Amino acid sequence: MQIRYFSGKNPWTETRAQDVWREQFGDLSNKKKEEENLLIFDGPNGEEMLMGKGKYSPALLIQSARMTKIRNLWMQGQPAEFQTRRENDLDFSLWGFGPAPLEGGDK
């Protein structure tokens, strides 16, 4: 697994997003960063999970440590006007990749 996108009609909750993470990687640390439209959870081995907020709330992206490293190295080499925002990553999941969050709330 390098990158997995999830989307749906309902917003993701931290609980449901962490359940999906556990299915892939096991426990998730409490280490997270909050930005305007997303939460970024850092995995123990460099993996990342991005959970959208606001208009991106139906979007969730999980990427492996390798993909996180590739993205960060690629971004470092780009001029400031070419830097993409993390919301662009979430746009892909809104196109309909992957399973949707559970309809009707959390278990």
Is residue 39 scored above 70 in pLDDT? yes
Q: Is 104 a member of any domain?
A: no
Q: Is 106 a member of any domain?
A: no
Task: Tell me if 101 sits within 8 A of 6, measured CB to CB.
Answer: yes
If one counts the domains in the chain, the total is 1
Q: Can you give the pLDDT at residue 56?
A: 86
Q: Is 87 a member of any domain?
A: yes
Strand ranges in 1-107 using DSSP code E only, listed in sequence order: 3-6, 32-35, 38-42, 48-52, 60-63
Q: Can you give the pLDDT at residue 95?
A: 59
Q: Is 14 a member of any domain?
A: yes
Domain that holds residue 54: 3-94
Q: Is 21 a member of any domain?
A: yes
Could you tell me the pTM of the whole model? 0.69
Q: Which residues contact 24 (CB under 8 A, 6 or more apart)?
A: 1, 4, 62
Q: Can you give the pLDDT at residue 28?
A: 75
Q: Can you give the pLDDT at residue 31?
A: 75
**pLDDT tens across 74-105, in order?**
778 877 776 667 777 777 666 555 444 554 44
Average pLDDT over residues 68-76: 81
Q: Is 105 a member of any domain?
A: no
Q: Is 55 a member of any domain?
A: yes
What number of CA atoms fall less than 13 Å from residue 83's CA on the CB side?
Answer: 10
Q: Is 99 a member of any domain?
A: no
User: Which residue do the tokens 């006007």 mark?
Assistant: 81
Structure-model confidence comparison of residues 78 and 19, the more confident one: 19
